[in-house]
């Protein structure tokens, strides 16, 4: 019988543990045994607290609350569990502490413990903790936190290694796999030849789950394998319509899996006038990324370690030209939001740059009222450091230069920068590049096949960013044949079967006829990205915001109580509106080819 371990150190994040619970129950129903490994307050630092989220010190009772939640939850679920501390002796704790305290700050990034590069594995979390890259090792608080993460990583590496020495397991499930101790767990599992699946909230589709086999949640490697198998398989009508629907939803901020970074699309016919741009020169739009999640990760490093250095080089090149104008759109997430604070250091770079720009360059800061999609529509070429809007511009058929790593780097039509020395040559190539249907065709395939790797997860309903609801009563409801996505996950964890299908012979032989007809209709439909449905949703959201403000003025917390009471119904209404069918611009009543159930055509 297959034995599965779930390493679940973050019990307070119920919006993630609810997926672990569901997968665990399904694995039991599929015939496996499951055990949890939990954190018992052993760690001085973890990702439950980042200063950048709260702008306050780590709560003194955080570990106690998390451990109590873990114990209560697992007792209610009736799963067997062990505590991480059971596998780390006092002597080992002391050795880990002494090691972390003895690492000089200048060597944090290269720090190694028992042969494991823990400095590299925790760096991502330290960066996110402060929204600062590189971390300021002259600041005593940054140094203390960094040591805390190194200490925690050493404890987790020791505990999981000893657990595996005492317990034979076949596979493991864990959250994220990128952040500090989850990254340590992922790497220790892989070192021991254990099949591992990481999970995270979906990046692009609400109600789906991001799962990666033997890789962390932001790894590009699993999609490379999918793209290698499917890149030459044309999309059918259903797939094209679904992908266009996603593109339209993105522009209107609908059906998002995470908080919206851009304001919803509004056509801005006066954009060039407002930014004092010429109508006789080519316009390039450079979209920066919010890089604190990937900075410092060798798997995400492109030719430039620093995004700002790339931007400066582009500005310097453009300054010597009189036939092109450049608008730099700074990623709105750098300005902070309800979830996380400002990336102060990175934001300052662009604020200072604004006062020294050449005459043919503009910069748009997060607080400036310029919509990213309006800029993308107006621009002739897009330049990105990995932002998803690069893929969206390519879906419009526009040339895109990618200067770092991104899911769309696999595309042969994307101008991907491989070295700093090649930048000038590739910018020259951008001057000659024009909109092209083959760019659009490939971009639609990239988008569709990537989104297909985010599994629909109907067993859990997403009511809000942090509020989920189970859609089943008993684990038998999750057994074989009951849920296609859970079948795939369980087949991987239990039997090592691939998560995703390869194309059939029939799919390999599919022609581009559907694609050709689809893109021909788009070319004749200037308003194909407009949606009356989503414009109605935007008006409804604005009305709701006004109502919320009025309700919150009611005394004694009555308004908040009423808001909580109606929140689930409100989200359900929005979901019905946002997920309604959008008729593609081609003939709406035409027969559609039936997709094969499986990886792609869903």
**Averaged pLDDT, groups of 10, the chain, 602 residues long:** 97 95 98 97 95 85 96 94 98 98 97 97 94 93 97 98 98 96 98 97 91 96 96 97 92 75 67 92 95 81 93 97 96 80 88 94 92 94 96 97 95 96 97 96 97 94 87 95 97 96 96 98 92 71 63 68 60 59 50 37 29
Quote the CATH superfamily of domain 261-436: Glycogen Phosphorylase B; (3.40.50.2000)
Q: How many CA atoms lie within 13 A of 366 on its CB side?
A: 20
CA pair distance 106, 116, nearest whole angstrom: 18
Residue 363's beta-bridge partner residues?
328
Residue 82's beta-bridge partner residues?
37
Quote the pLDDT of residue 596: 36
Q: For the chain, which residues make up each domain, given as ranges?
A: 3-207+457-495, 261-436
Residues composing the chain: 602
Say if CB 253 and CB 301 are below 8 A apart: no
DSSP tag of 281: S
Quote the pLDDT of residue 576: 61
Which residue stretches of 6-59 are H helix? 14-29, 51-54
Torsion of CA 293, 299, 300, 303, to 10 degrees: 150
Angle between helices 90-102 and 140-166 (to 10 degrees): 140
The single residue listed with the structure tokens 């899996």 is: 257
Say if CB 437 and CB 397 are below 8 A apart: yes
The single residue listed with the structure tokens 């595309």 is: 411
Quote the pLDDT of residue 343: 85
Structure tokens at 555: 């005394």
Residue 30, C-beta contacts closer than 8 angstroms, at least 6 positions apart = 479, 480, 487, 490, 491, 494
Q: Where are the beta strands (DSSP E) in 1-52?
A: 3-7, 33-38
Report CA 598 to chain centroid distance, whole Å.
23
Q: Which fold has domain 3-207+457-495?
A: Rossmann fold (3.40.50)
Quote the pLDDT of residue 333: 86
Say if CB 159 and CB 85 are below 8 A apart: yes
Say if CB 148 and CB 118 are below 8 A apart: no
Q: What are phi and psi of 173, to 5 degrees?
A: -125, 135
């Amino acid at each position: 019988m297959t034995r599965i371990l779930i390493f679940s150190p973050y019990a307070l994040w119920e919006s993630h543990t609810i997926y672990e619970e569901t997968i665990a129950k399904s694995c039991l129903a599929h015939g496996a045994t499951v055990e949890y490994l939990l954190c018992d307050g052993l760690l001085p630092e973890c990702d439950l607290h980042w200063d950048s989220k709260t702008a306050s010190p780590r709560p003194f009772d955080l570990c106690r609350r998390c451990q109590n939640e873990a114990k209560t939850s697992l007792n209610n679920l009736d799963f067997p569990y062990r505590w991480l501390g059971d596998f780390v002796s006092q002597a080992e704790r002391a050795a880990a502490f002494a090691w972390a305290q003895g690492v000089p700050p200048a060597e944090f990034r290269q720090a190694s413990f028992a042969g494991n590069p823990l400095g590299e594995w925790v760096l991502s979390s330290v960066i996110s903790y402060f929204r600062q890259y590189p971390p300021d090792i002259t600041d005593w608080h940054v140094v203390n936190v960094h040591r805390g993460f190194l200490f925690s990583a050493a404890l987790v590496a020791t505990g999981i290694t000893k657990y595996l020495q005492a317990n034979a397991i076949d596979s493991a499930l864990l959250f994220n796999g990128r952040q500090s101790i989850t990254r340590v767990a992922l790497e220790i599992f892989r070192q021991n030849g254990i099949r591992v699946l990481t999970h995270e909230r979906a990046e692009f589709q609400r109600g789906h789950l991001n799962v990666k086999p033997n890789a962390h949640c932001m790894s590009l490697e699993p999609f490379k394998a999918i793209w290698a198998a499917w890149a030459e398989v044309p999309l059918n009508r259903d797939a094209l319509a679904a992908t266009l629907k996603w593109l339209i939803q993105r522009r209107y901020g609908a059906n998002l899996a995470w908080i919206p970074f851009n304001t919803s699309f509004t056509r801005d016919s006066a954009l060039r006038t407002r930014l004092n741009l010429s109508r006789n020169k080519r316009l390039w739009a450079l979209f920066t990324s919010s890089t604190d999640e990937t900075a410092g990760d060798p798997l995400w490093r492109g030719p430039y370690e620093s995004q700002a250095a790339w931007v400066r080089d582009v500005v310097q090149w453009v300054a010597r030209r009189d036939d092109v104008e450049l608008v730099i759109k700074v990623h709105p997430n750098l300005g902070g939001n309800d979830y996380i604070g400002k990336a102060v250091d990175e934001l300052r770079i662009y604020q200072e740059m604004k006062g020294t720009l050449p005459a043919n360059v503009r910069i748009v800061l997060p607080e400036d009222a310029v919509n990213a999609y309006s800029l993308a529509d107006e621009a002739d070429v897009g330049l990105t450091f990995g932002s998803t809007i690069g893929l969206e511009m390519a879906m419009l058929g526009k040339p895109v230069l990618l200067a770092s790593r991104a899911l769309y780097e696999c595309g042969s039509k994307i101008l991907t920068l491989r070295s700093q020395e090649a930048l000038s040559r590739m910018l020259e190539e951008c001057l000659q590049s024009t909109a092209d249907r083959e760019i659009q065709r490939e971009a639609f395939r990239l988008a569709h096949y990537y989104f297909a790797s985010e599994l629909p997860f109907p067993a859990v309903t997403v009511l809000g960013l942090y509020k989920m609801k189970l859609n089943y009563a008993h684990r038998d409801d999750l057994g074989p044949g009951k849920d296609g996505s859970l079948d795939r996950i369980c087949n991987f964890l239990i039997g090592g079967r691939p998560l995703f299908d390869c194309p059939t012979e029939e799919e390999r032989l599919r022609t581009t006829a559907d694609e050709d007809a689809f893109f021909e209709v788009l070319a004749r439909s200037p308003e194909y990205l407009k949606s009356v449905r989503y414009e109605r949703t935007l008006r409804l959201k604005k009305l709701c915001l006004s109502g919320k403000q009025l309700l919150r003025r009611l005394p004694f917390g009555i308004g908040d109580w009423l808001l909580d009471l109606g929140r689930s119904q409100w989200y359900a209404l929005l979901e019905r509106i946002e997920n309604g069918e959008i008729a593609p611009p081609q003939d709406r009543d035409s027969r559609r080819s039936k997709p094969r159930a499986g990886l792609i055509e869903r």
